[in-house]
């Protein structure tokens, strides 16, 4: 069975855009990358004493089940040198599974939909760009509606792709 998953990507260390491109290529090994958003530059949330992020979102068509996909994303992070020692700290790559079909999962390993996605402009702006009609299965609102009700557009700004 083919599933549709939406994944958020972020990087605030090194060549941020190159890190996102590398991650996107590696995620392609987990299925077919269907759409990728523009890049968005955003201030860090919670731990604010760190560099700004470049964020994006992608749509993935995959035959993997949710836990297998999550584990694959964690392997991509590891292969790229991500170490999860400081929660919310600086990172060269951060991959979050946002939505998987219309599934609702709440286990110690995986929570779907992503529990904070509806509160984060840096997630919703790129997601609404590529999938404005993607529905949050608990809130029953689209990505574009969640974005409109969440943020001041100045908080998240689109940046052109470039080499840093």
Query: How far, in Å, CA of 157 to CA of 95, rounded?
Result: 20
Q: Give start and end residues of each alpha helix (H) in the chain.
A: 16-27, 66-79, 121-130, 143-150
Catalytic residue among 16, 26, 94, 120: 94
**Residue recorded with tokens 């992503």:** 114
Reply yes or no on whether 101 is catalytic.
no
- Check 16, 26, 82, 120 and give the catalytic one: 82
Count how many residues are written for the chain.
164
CA-to-CA separations, 105 to 61, 98, 112, 116, 144, in angstroms, rounded:
19, 11, 5, 14, 23
User: Which candidate in 15, 22, 71, 96 is catalytic?
Assistant: 96
Give yes or no: 158 in active site. Answer: no
Distance separating alpha carbons of residues 56 and 36, to the nearest angstrom: 7
Identify which of 160, 107, 150 has the alpha carbon closest to the alpha carbon of residue 127: 150
Whether 96 is catalytic is yes
Question: Active-site residue 82, yes or no?
Answer: yes
Q: Catalytic pick from 16, 26, 91, 120? A: 91
Catalytic residues: 82, 91, 94, 96
């Amino acid at each position: 069975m083919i599933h549709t998953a939406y994944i958020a990507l972020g990087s605030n260390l090194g060549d941020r855009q190159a890190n996102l491109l590398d991650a996107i290529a590696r995620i392609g090994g987990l299925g077919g990358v269907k759409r990728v958003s523009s890049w968005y530059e955003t201030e860090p949330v919670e731990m604010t004493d760190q560099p700004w992020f470049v964020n994006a979102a992608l749509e993935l068509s995959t035959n993997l089940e949710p836990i297998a996909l999550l584990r694959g994303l964690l392997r991509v992070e590891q292969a790229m040198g991500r170490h999860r020692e400081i929660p919310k700290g600086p990172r060269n790559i951060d991959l979050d599974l946002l939505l998987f079909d219309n599934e609702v999962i709440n286990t110690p390993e995986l929570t779907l939909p992503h529990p904070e996605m509806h509160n984060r402009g840096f997630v919703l702006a790129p997601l609404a760009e590529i999938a404005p009609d993607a529905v949050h299965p608990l809130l029953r609102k689209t990505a574009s509606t969640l974005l409109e009700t969440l943020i001041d557009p100045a908080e998240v700004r689109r940046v052109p792709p470039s080499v840093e």
